[in-house]
């Protein structure tokens, strides 16, 4: 439990340490991109939501902590999300099941894996199942923000609206 709590504190500090220089110049010029988060750890989920809404143009429209809940929401609301950020280890089921369930989706929707288990083999497996990108929670948060703010990802979401 102690190492888990220490790990959560580290992740929280890491999420908050992403450089504020990535913030857009003006709030009024931002087109919000609807996103859904699949993460079973409430502390990580809450910190991730705060950081992503502050540092990117994402607007979190929903969350789930299990494969079943994620798949239900994403299927019932296909027009309400353009980005889904999925952890691999969930309260019930797996992020792999979420990825596979949405292998066939419009080009305006991106599935991103954010996990502590981003080994080379797991990255390859996620891509085979249909993930657009895979990031390690412990050391690739800057890369995740860069990916989310890339012009091609902003343009796809904007064009879909």
Asked if 65 and 93 count as a contact pair (C-beta separation under 8 A), the reply is no
pLDDT on residue 127: 97
Which tokens belong to 78? 């296909």
User: Average pLDDT of the chain?
Assistant: 85
Distance CA 149, CA 143 (A): 10
Taking residues 98-125, what's their average pLDDT? 96
Q: Tell me, what DSSP letter sits at residue 94?
A: B
pTM of the model: 0.80
Distance CA 92, CA 35 (A): 21
Nearest one of 98, 89, 154 to 130, comparing CA atoms: 98
Reading phi first (left if > 0) and then psi (alpha if -120 to 50, else beta), residue 81 is in: beta
Burial code of 116-140, b = ≥16 C-beta within 10 A, e = fewer? eebeeebbebbeebebbbbbbbeeb
Taking residues 52-81, what's their average pLDDT? 97
The proportion of the chain whose per-residue pLDDT surpasses 90, expressed as a percent, equals 73
Taking residues 72-98, what's their average pLDDT? 97
């Amino acid at each position: 439990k102690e190492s888990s709590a220490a790990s959560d504190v580290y992740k929280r500090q890491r999420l908050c340490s992403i450089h504020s220089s990535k913030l857009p110049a003006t709030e009024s010029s931002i087109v919000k991109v609807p996103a859904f988060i699949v993460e079973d750890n409430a502390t990580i989920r809450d910190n991730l939501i705060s950081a992503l809404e502050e540092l990117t143009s994402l607007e979190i429209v929903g969350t789930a902590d299990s494969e079943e809940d994620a798949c239900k929401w994403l299927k019932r609301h296909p027009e309400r999300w353009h980005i889904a950020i999925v952890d691999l280890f969930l309260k019930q089921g797996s992020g792999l099941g979420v990825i596979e369930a949405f292998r066939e989706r419009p080009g305006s929707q991106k599935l991103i894996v954010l996990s502590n288990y981003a080994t080379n083999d797991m990255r390859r497996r996620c891509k085979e199942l249909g993930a657009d990108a895979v990031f390690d929670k412990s050391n690739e948060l800057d890369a995740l923000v860069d990916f989310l703010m890339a012009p091609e990802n902003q343009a796809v979401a904007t064009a879909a609206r």
